[in-house]
Amino acid sequence: MITLGATGGIGSGKTTVCGFLEEKGARVFYADVEAKRLMQEDEAVRAAIVNEFGTEAYADDGSLNRASLADRVFGDAERVERLNAIVHPHVFEAFEAAAGRARDEGLDLLVHEAALLFEAGGDDHVGVTAAVVAPDADRIAWVTERDDVTPEQVKARMTHQLPQDELRRRADHVIENDGSLEDLRRKSVELYWTVVGRE
């Protein structure tokens, strides 16, 4: 079984690419979804977050108080690093467990989808990596419509992610999302067969 780390900046189209890979039979492990689940459900993670950021990190009903945690963390690189140090190791453990299940089931490809794949060291947990890149103007236009935010807010979020040229340099494979949706589907299918190694 092949493990593929798929990444890309905000609005690049990496989730769409992962959807096309799923159509080919791949299974996708969404790191951000798993991180949110762990922060909500895992007792060790919850305890560590409370210890580090206070009881205000969770609401009275026990749910994660995302607004409070964001206020305390984002914009402060050291606090972001401390939060990541709590959550990321558990995400990687969950991925290893998912890889074991996928291997037992005889799957050809398991994809680890993560916006911060390289920043978090996720590339050490997969066999091969791919980055999805797209023109900045397209990314900004797409995210402003999707998230109902301003272009300035999108640009601010982009500054906290690796530059696309750095993604191109570090990834084993690069998908240039600069055409139609069908073009992106074709490139995703090509990536699938390139990584799996047979057609």
Buried b (16+ CB within 10 A) or exposed e, 72-107: bbeeeeeeeeebbebbbebbbebbeebbeebeeeee
pTM for the whole structure: 0.90
Q: Where are the alpha helices (DSSP H) in 74-149?
A: 77-104, 136-147
- How far apart CA 144 and CA 61 sit, in angstroms, is 32
Give the start-to-end residue ranges of the domains of the chain: 1-26+108-193, 32-90
Task: Classify domain 1-26+108-193 at the CATH class level.
Answer: alpha beta
Query: 198 or 132: which carries more pLDDT confidence?
Result: 132
Place of tokens 């060291």: 121
Mean pLDDT of the chain: 93
Tally of helices (H runs) and strands (E runs) in the chain: 9, 5
Neighbour count for residue 63 (Cβ, 10 Å)? 9
Please say if the pLDDT value at position 15 is more than 60. Answer: yes
